[in-house]
Amino acid sequence: MRDVSRRSLLAAGAAGAAAGSVALSGCGTAKGDDGPLRFWNFYGPQNSPDPAVQAQSDWFVAMVDEWNKTHKTQIELTYIPQPIYLNGAKLPTAFAAGTGPDIFMVSPGDFLRYANGGILKDLTDHLKPEVIEDFGDSLESRTIDGRVYALPMEIEPLAIFYDVKAWERAGLSEGDIPTTWDATLDAGDKLRSPTRAGLVFETKPGYYQNFTWYPFMWQGGGEVLDKEGNSAFDSKAARQALGLWQDAVRHGIAPTTPPAANDVISGFKAGNVGMWQQGIWQVASFNSYAPDFEYGVFKLPVPSGGSYTTGLGGWTFGANTQGRDPDGAAEFIAWAIGSMEKHSIQRMTDWCVKAKTDIAPRRTALELGIEQGGYDSPVMKKFKDEIYPAGRAEPRYPPAVYKAISDAIQGTMLGGDGVSGAVDRADQSIEAYLKSYKGADLV
């Protein structure tokens, strides 16, 4: 699985906590122990056959090596295989036992789980005001009462990738790039064949699937919660977004399981897919695994009367309040990606345009990436100039809210459920949960 961005792929069931927070043991067994601070991640160190993934692993190793050479407090990378980190119980179980890592990667979908559980350390006092200003809006979903609890390393917009040659063979031209839902389904119908899916949406339940679905609801003016924090899911926009995915599957345009075992690059290279909703992170894998493959990207299409937006994902660094040295962990995070020093800005730039392909979440790093040619290619320029600007950050809904929406998506897309009934059930589940919810604001 090369979608290593996700940030947002952590499954709700992994926490084993429907209330959306991690129950702390109170022991804090790691605090005060001798030894290096443990940094759990799914990038490195490792030896990967994917040059893009290996470059990302090397970035982590180089970052920690540089820190360790110049600081008394030492950092040790602990590589957790991606499926376990993203979908397993290892991380939340460790926190619940009081033995969690000192530094870890946090997805938007799990932010409130750990913040409400008292695990995420407040990083604000370790960040200079000019740094917070430099990050700007990218900190909004990582703050509580104006305090910063996680620091983003990337921004990852969603778009539609398509096979240029398959597009042409289907009799489609550049002028046929769809901007509406109906036109997208029409194009997918022309692209599909017995061996090729016309359009691929995510089919596996999880935070990632929800993340990829939200923009279609937003485009119609829909929201999961209103500004006061009440459920707003029962809406025309939610029903039409669920209907879009349901129609794509029912008409045979979108498959019920992803092509090529969800290997995006292999699926395109083998001619098994015409269009696939994916994120900017796939550009790095195309560059390393299929540099000669001709593909294009376009903005997510919109419904009749709707307005364009897309989802902006991305992982963050977080520090454990129950770790060996929470202040030391916070200091490392600020040093690594959250200072105004040249090395910190360059490090983030290197992540977003060299080791990986992302939008940098701080202004100085984005400007440096532009200056160093990281957004010169047509596809990266399109992501930066056309796809990203109107995007919205991935929501930070706790597991109970996520699960209600996930059940609606799964039930209508793959289970044959009626759209109206699924929306009504989800809305009732969300409203019932909100009556007893205690924690940071959800919106």
Which runs of consecutive H residues, i.e. helices, occur in 71-125? 82-87, 90-96, 108-116
Q: Which domains does the chain have, with CATH numbers?
A: 12-155+314-387 (3.40.190.10), 158-312+397-436 (3.40.190.10)
User: Cα separations (Å) of 355 from 154, 284, 358?
Assistant: 12, 8, 10
Of all residues in the chain, the percent with pLDDT exceeding 70 is 92
pLDDT at 9 over 80: no
User: Cα separations (Å) of 187 from 148, 163, 248, 271, 303?
Assistant: 44, 12, 11, 16, 15
* pLDDT tens profile 268-277: 999 999 999 9
18 band by pLDDT with thresholds 50, 70 and 90: very low
Strand 156-163 and strand 103-106: the pairing is: unpaired
pTM above 0.85, yes or no: yes
51 band by pLDDT with thresholds 50, 70 and 90: confident
* pLDDT tens profile 282-294: 999 999 999 999 9
pLDDT reported for residue 8 = 28
Mean pLDDT of the chain: 91
pLDDT at 315 over 80: yes
pLDDT at 68 over 90: yes
4 band by pLDDT with thresholds 50, 70 and 90: very low
Cα gap 374→350, rounded to integer Å: 9
Of residues 81 and 164, more confidently modeled = 164
* pLDDT tens profile 84-112: 888 778 999 999 999 999 999 999 888 99
Of all residues in the chain, the percent with pLDDT exceeding 90 is 85
Strand partners, 159: 278
33 band by pLDDT with thresholds 50, 70 and 90: low
pLDDT at 340 over 90: yes
End-to-end alpha carbon distance in the chain: 31
Of residues 259 and 4, more confidently modeled = 259
pLDDT at 22 over 60: no
pLDDT at 83 over 60: yes
Least confident range from 60-69, 106-115, 167-176, 402-411: namely: 106-115
